[in-house]
Amino acid sequence: MSSAPHVAIVGVTGAVGQEFLRVLEQRNFPIGKLTLLASARSAGKTVDFKGTTYTVKELTEDSFGDVDLALFSAGGSISKKYAPIASDAGATVVDNSSAFRMIDSVPLVVPEVNPEAVEGIELGKGGIIANPNCSTIIMLVPVTPIHRRAGVKRMVVSTYQAASGAGAAAMAELELQTSEVLAGKEPTCDIFPRQYAFNLFSHNSDIIPEHGYNEEEYKMVCETHKIWKNSDVKITATCVRVPVMRAHAESINLELEQPLDADEARQLLSEAAGVRVVDDRVGNNFPTPLEASNEDDVLVGRIRNDISREGTKVTGLDLFVCGDQVRKGAALNAVQIAELLVK
């Protein structure tokens, strides 16, 4: 574009919407005009951005008349209705919901992994681009360099997912429950049907009757196949909610087609975009959600050979990763996609 784009943020008052603003400012994303959109309930609120106070407007079908870029984080039902309207009006949409991820014609993008997927899309000329699921993003940023080098044949992942993945209300309830339980009171359980503080439980997404995986787990399988353009890789996932405020953790076991030992993998990851290796065996210092919170990079550690595999060649690796769900798992990834379009 010859001039800075008109940017709209849909769902600006939510946790990811607020993170959009922080990321846009920190990365100095070019903005000619900014429109902040939310539900009728939030319309009229004020938000500060780069020293200017903006008034949040109600999202309507007429909100996108001269918008070049629309960043959506308002839930699947809102995206399904309004993203096509925005695209038809000429806005290029980057959507954070699951609404369009598995539609063949919609690119599903992690900029460190498949930036070529947005080729041919011009900012301000319409189109929808999907942000993957947060757990998929956090997994693929470190695993993809290994896949490129040695070929992932099978991947087993277990996630430990923070309250941030369920939004600002879940984060607030975890904080409230913690104080209630410590005070000997019954915990307030409005967001989840069970106690979250000092507890963990299977991810709250719906169970798919055909195979028993929940939707979060199955997203990781299907989205990886689409992003890698390879449905032959075998993937299984178990997703769990843990009482962490922000940043997801994942334990990843890889079966590789070609030999790659832990030392080689560690060096490879130390050079990978979007990755920071935290792998101090002597000091027993490895990634934690707290350390990953508010960070752009996915932290990777516990890099080790899988000793359960037989043979002299190392074709199995274990990793432990942590990434900020609100940031790299959502807002940052979307802004990085937008940056691909303004270059």
CATH number of the structural domain spanning residue 15: 3.40.50.720
What's the confidence (pLDDT) of residue 101?
97
DSSP, collapsed to helix, strand or coil, labels residue 248 as strand
Q: What percent of the chain has pLDDT over 70?
A: 99
234 domain residue, yes or no: yes
Judgement on whether residues 156 and 98 belong to the same structural domain of the protein: no
Of 6, 147, 203, 248, which one is the catalytic site residue?
248
Whether residue 20 is contained in a domain is answered as yes
* Catalytic residue flag (residue 239): no
pLDDT score for 20: 97
Residue 307 and residue 260 share a domain: yes
Please check the confidence at residue 259 and state whether its pLDDT lies above 70. Answer: yes
3-class secondary-structure state, position 267: helix
Same domain membership, residue 121 and residue 217: no
- What are the φ/ψ torsions at residue 67 (nearest 5 degrees)? -80, 135
Given a cut of 90, is residue 314 above it in pLDDT? no
What pLDDT is recorded for position 164? 92
Q: Give the span between the Cα atoms of 308 and 315, in whole angstroms.
A: 10
Measured between alpha carbons, how far is 301 from 192 in angstroms, rounded to an integer? 31
More confident of the two residues 312 and 206: 206
- Please count the structural domains in the chain: 2
Q: Which residues contact 119 (CB under 8 A, 6 or more apart)?
A: none
pLDDT digits (tens, 9 = 90+) for 173-204: 999 999 999 999 999 999 999 999 999 999 99
99 and 153 co-located in one domain: no
Please report the pLDDT score of residue 1 as a whole number: 60
Q: Do 41 and 110 fall within a single domain?
A: yes
pLDDT in tens, 217-236: 999 999 999 999 999 999 99
Cβ atoms within 10 Å of 86's Cβ, excluding its own: 26
Is residue 233 located within the same domain as residue 146? Answer: yes
Q: Identify the pLDDT of residue 333.
A: 98
Q: What is the pLDDT of residues 283-311, one digit of tens each?
A: 999 999 999 999 999 999 999 999 998 87
Say if 279 falls within a structural domain. yes
Are residues 64 and 117 part of one domain?
yes
Torsions phi, psi for 228 (to 5 deg) = -80, -10
The single-letter DSSP state of residue 36 is E
Could you read off the pLDDT of 141-150 as tens digits, one per residue? 999 999 999 9
What confidence score (pLDDT) does residue 343 get? Answer: 74
Is 222 annotated as catalytic?
Answer: no
Q: Does the residue 314 lie in any domain?
A: yes
Read off the CATH number of the domain in which 230 is found.
Answer: 3.30.360.10
The answer on pLDDT for 2 being more than 90 is no
Domain that holds residue 234: 135-162+201-241+244-325
Instruction: Tell me, yes or no, whether 176 lies in a domain.
Output: no
pLDDT confidence of 167, banded at 50, 70, 90? confident
With a pLDDT cut of 90, the percent of the chain lying above it is: 96
The answer to whether residues 126 and 142 belong to one domain is no
Active-site hit among 134, 147, 239, 322: 134
User: Which residues, in sequence order, are CB contacts of 229 under 8 Å at separation 6+?
Assistant: none
Q: What is the mean pLDDT of residues 83-107?
A: 97
pLDDT at 200: 96
Q: Assess whether 250 and 264 both reside in one domain.
A: yes
Kindly state whether residues 262 and 224 are assigned to the same domain. Answer: yes
Average pLDDT estimate for 100-127: 97
> Do 52 and 151 fall into the same domain?
no
User: Is residue 182 a part of any domain in this protein?
Assistant: no
Q: Is the pLDDT of residue 28 over 80?
A: yes
Region 77-96: mean pLDDT is 97
Note whether 11 and 40 are same-domain residues. yes
**What's the whole-number average pLDDT of the chain?**
96
